[in-house]
Amino acid sequence: MKALDTNVLIRYLVQDDPGQGRKAAAYIEGAAAADEQILISNIVLCETVWVLDAAYGYSKTEVQAALEKLLQSSTFQFETKDIVWRAFEEYRAVKADFADCLMGQVHRALGCEPTATFDSALRKLSTFQML
């Protein structure tokens, strides 16, 4: 299985650097043509969401569309796809950062109680409890 760093995934999605964008696309499309899987780790996924939002000014709707496209692709694999999907659904439903949604879902899947937080923006997520 192959894996990607955040910068390769960003170049593939954004295509803002023609040379790197072509290389990223060739790498990913080559893997797809050979029926090889490419891992997108939880860290890379969270960084990608942050970069699309903070560095490229993508709206939440645009970030959601990019995430959904990745999740629906048969080429990409994830550490725990079912957990990532649950986090994505939360992210779509409430005003919270994707990284927080994913963190809460990972903690729940590992058998933790709701994650203790001081962040009042997370009070709507069942995977967090306010201290």
| Segments of the chain with pLDDT less than 70 | none
Q: How many structural domains is the chain composed of?
A: 2
- Give yes or no: residues 98 and 47 share one domain: no
**Cβ(28)–Cβ(75) below 8 Å:** yes
Which two tokens mark 91? 């992210």
- Give yes or no: residues 31 and 62 share one domain: yes
- Give yes or no: residues 60 and 109 share one domain: no
In a domain, 103, yes or no: yes
Rg (the chain; Cα; Å)? 16
Phi first, then psi: give them for residue 84, nearest 5 degrees. Answer: -65, -40
What is the spatial distance between Cα 65 and Cα 130, in angstroms, rounded to a whole number?
Answer: 30
Q: Which pLDDT does position 33 carry in this prediction? A: 96
Q: Kindly report, residue by residue over 66-93, the tens digit of the pLDDT.
A: 999 999 999 999 999 999 999 999 999 9
Is the pTM higher than 0.75? yes
